Structures are given as C-alpha cells and as structure tokens.
Amino acid sequence: MFLLAVMSLCGCNLAGPLAPAPNNASLGPSLYNAVSSGDRLPFRPGGAVESAFSFRSIDGPGASATSATGINLRGQVVGDFSAAAGGGAFHWADGIATQIVVPGASLAYARGINDNGAIVGGFVDANGAEHGFLLSNGTFSAIDAPGAVVTSAFGINELGAIVGNYIDANGVRHGFLLQAGVFTTIDGPGSLWTQAFGINARGQVVGFYLGSDIRGHGYVWSEGEMTTIDAPGAAANTATYGINSRGQIVGFYDTPNGGRQGFLLSQGMWIGIRLPRATETSPIGINDAGQIAGEYLDGRGTLHGFLTGRPNRLSELGPVLAAVKGQRDAASSVRVAPPNLETAAASLGIGAAQSLGRGSKSLSGSRSAAFLVR
C-alpha cells in the first residue's frame, strides 16, 4: 500500500451543455429492441443465450469512434470519442452531452462515474506524461501512483474509492485501489500484468490479468482475495469490466471464430449480449438498476457507444441458462493475448494511447459539438 499522491489543478470545466442536434439531423429511431421474445437467437458457444433489452446508440459528431464506459444509477454516462474535427471525454445525460475539458491536456478520456456524479478517467499532459484524474464537485485532481510512469483511473464507487492501473519503473502494469488516501496494488496470481476496471459499493473490484499461460482472465477481488473468472466457451481471453452492488458483472470474451461475445454474469448464469447489426458488442459498465453502457462495432467497422434500458425480461432466461450453464466449447483454436493489451475494448485506441505503447495520439480541434443519440 502507498500513500495518496494527488495534484490539484484549477480551471477544469464541463464545457456545455452542448447544443442538441439540429431539427433536420437524421437521428433514426429513438429505441431499438435488441432481441424480441419471438426472435430468440440460438445458443452461442459456451451455452449462453442472448437477452432481450432496448438500447440507444451514442455517437460523437462526425466521430470515427465513440465509447460509453461508465454509468451511474441516474443513467448518466461517461466515455470518449474521436473525430477528425476533434474529440475527447464526455458526460451524457438525458440526450445532452457535455464535453469534459481537462486544462493543459493533449488527450483526455473518461471511464467511470458514481451516483454522486464524481468522474474518473485519464489525460496526457503537455510533456506526454499520462495521469489519472478525479473530477468531483467542480474540483479536478490528478492521480499518480507513487513511482509510476503512467497512471489511469477507471472506476469509482459511491464511497469515493477509485480503481485503475499504473505502470511501474520496470514497465510492469498493476491494478490499484485508492481508498481513504491509500493505494493498494492488485495483481493476479502469477500474472504478467493486471488491470482493475470497476468497483461497486461493497468494494468488490473487477478487471483482468494476463496469466503465465498467456491468456487473459477476468476476476473479482475483495479485501485481498481474488477469484478468477473464465467464461465458458472462451477461446483465450475473458475480460470483466463492470460490477454493480447486486454482484452482476459485465464484460466480454474471445470466441473460437476470432470474434468477441459480450456477456452479463448474473447469479452464476452467463447471458450473452449482442446488439442488432453489430459485428461485436462490448459491455463495459453496469449500474445498480441493471442498465449497461458499452460500445459496439457496426458492419462498416465504426465504433459506437450504447446505453441499454432497464432490463425486464432477464428472469425469462433463468431456467434456460441453468440448463446449459457450465458448458464449454471444445474448439482447439486459441488466440494469444498481446502483452500490451490495455483492454479488448477498441475505445482505448482513443484514450490511454501511451498506455497501449502505441505512441501519443492528438485529439486537437473543437471543444464543443452536438451528440446524436439514435
């Protein structure tokens, strides 16, 4: 454990609210039905069934990629987007997006928001160094783990406990919990690196680690005890990203055919999540009402954020999932997790550019724009 290293900065603001889309903009339908009760999709590898729920897409203006990564009980969403005319971190609520402007940052991304509206994320400063940040009650603070060369903050709970990851002087990535001013390092058993992404009000942390078997494993960590989570049917990597106070977990895993399957793990049952017309769906955050935020790739290869409605039919799947729970796919194909895997989510090509080891990426341009909510 380490003492808190926080640097307070002035001038951070939420630049908005941003103007809504013009009346002649093509917004499309306001709500989609992911899977209707009469159009049940077949079992997916590993025995998961896809659930029925509604969702909205969230896109930045002219965005080449948008990701929704955190959601609180009020349905407020945070994330980031990239576009030729600009991009950055955003806060979204009731169809209105507000860009989060980090002073002096060449790049910024938001990752988590708690029920009190406190937001965490990361930014790259003018010198190219990457820091985590906390924005709470209008006050912006940078977060740096002691001895770290890179720090990123990804999740925050109602008590203000923050999780994320840092890279030490030897280039090794660790997860961390920052609580009451004290850093606690989180490492998977025999891991080459570890990341922490989500935390609930009970202090349970989820993330994933690269094991000595060169496979990515999800986990739940609580008070120093870690439980590994591997999805049934996963070809190589399982990533757990969000957890709510009911213990429901969202994430995704690699499939034998080289794709990605989103999931909700609830009461020991694996429920597949795939949005219509999406080639890949990545659930990232979940609130206590069961609403999910994340990202998906469409058929053209464009990344969109999404927000689901409150689920009302998951109970229908209970008996079906119980019957197939625990099945595993026998495929022999295994994809190897790259050592610099920041996250299987494509969004971190937008944010945390240096953490990926891919170099800095500038998101210069307009600080104000409208979001289309489809």
Burial label for 323, CB within 10 Å (0-12, 13-18, 19+), is exposed
For Cα atoms 126, 129, 131, give the angle at the middle one, nearest 5 degrees: 110
Residue 30 lies in a domain: no
Strand partners of residue 210: 193, 216
Residue 106 exposed, middle or buried by CB count within 10 Å (0-12, 13-18, 19+): middle
Domain that includes residue 342, residue range: 2-15+43-361
Residue 330 CB contacts under 8 Å (≥ 6 apart), including other chains: none
Residue 345 is encoded by which pair of tokens?
A: 């989510």
CA 133 – CA 121 distance, rounded (Å) = 5
Rg of the chain (C-alpha set): 19
CATH number at residue 285: 2.120.10.30
Does the residue 25 lie in any domain?
no
Task: Confirm whether 294 is domain-assigned.
Answer: yes
Q: Which two tokens stand for residue 75?
A: 């349905």
Total domains present in the chain:
1
* Contact call for residues 85 and 62 (beta carbons, < 8 A): yes
Is residue 315 in some structural domain?
yes
Residue 200 makes CB contacts below 8 A (sequence gap 6+) with 157, 243, 244, 245, 247
Helix (H) or strand (E) holding 271: strand 269-273
Q: Is residue 194 part of a domain?
A: yes
Element (H, E) at 321: helix 318-324
Q: What values do phi and psi take at 314, rounded to 5?
A: -65, -30
Q: Is 374 within a domain?
A: no
Its pTM surpasses 0.95: no
pLDDT at 59: 83
Q: What is the pLDDT of residue 45?
A: 31
How confident is the prediction along the chain (374 residues), in pLDDT tens digits per residue?
A: 333 333 223 333 333 322 222 222 222 222 222 322 222 222 233 333 444 568 899 987 678 899 999 999 999 999 999 988 778 999 999 888 888 988 889 999 999 999 999 999 999 999 999 999 999 999 999 999 999 999 999 999 999 999 999 999 999 999 999 999 999 999 999 999 999 999 999 999 999 999 999 999 999 999 999 999 999 988 889 999 999 999 999 999 998 888 889 999 999 999 988 888 889 999 999 999 999 999 999 999 999 999 998 775 544 333 233 322 333 332 222 223 333 333 332 233 222 322 222 222 222 222 222 233 33
Give the C-alpha separation, 224 to 185, whole Å.
10
Which residue bears the tokens 């891919």? 358
Residue 208 in any domain: the answer is yes
pLDDT attached to residue 98: 85
- 142: in domain: yes
Kindly give, in sequence order, each residue whose CB lies less than 8 Å from that of residue 26, ignoring residues fewer than 6 positions away.
none
The reported pLDDT for the residue numbered 52 is 54
Amino acid in position 277? R
Structure tokens at 330: 């026998």
- Identify the DSSP state of 311: -
For residues 45 and 233, is the Cβ–Cβ distance under 8 A?
yes
Q: Are 47 and 233 in contact (CB under 8 A)?
A: yes
